[in-house]
Amino acid sequence: MGKTSPRIVLCPKCGAAVRWEAESRFRPFCSARCKGMDLGAWANDEYRVAAEAPPELPDHISPPYDE
Ligand SMILES: [Zn+2]
């Protein structure tokens, strides 16, 4: 046994096992797709839309009943 086993980490995006070694260029992500998607979600639409989306409004606004 001359080689030590690589450490295994889990991809933060999809949970796949990733070897923590030089070959795994996208670590801790399992792939470029996981790495890119994660950054994209933050930098682009998802974050912004969530922050700017107006609260849900009812179809019609009922005035308070005058009793
Ligand atoms: Zn992944």
Task: Write the pLDDT tens digit of every residue in 6-18.
Answer: 799 999 989 999 9
Residue 62 has pLDDT above 90, yes or no: no
Q: Which fold has domain 7-50?
A: Erythroid Transcription Factor GATA-1; Chain A (3.30.50)
Report how far ligand 1's centroid is from the alpha carbon of 45 (Å). 20
Report how far ligand 1's centroid is from the alpha carbon of 32 (Å). 8
Cα–Cα distances in Å, from 18 out to 5, 23, 46, 55? 12, 10, 26, 40
pLDDT at 12: 93
Q: Which is nearest to 18 in space by CA: 4, 3, 32?
A: 32
Report how far ligand 1's centroid is from the alpha carbon of 11 (Å). 5
Q: In degrees to the nearest 10, what's the CA dihedral of 39, 40, 45, 49?
A: -20
pLDDT at 9: 94
Summary mean pLDDT of the chain: 77
Q: Which is nearest to 13 in space by CA: 33, 48, 1, 25?
A: 33
46 — pLDDT class (breaks 50, 70, 90): low
Report how far ligand 1's centroid is from the alpha carbon of 39 (Å). 13
Higher per-residue pLDDT: 29 or 52: 29
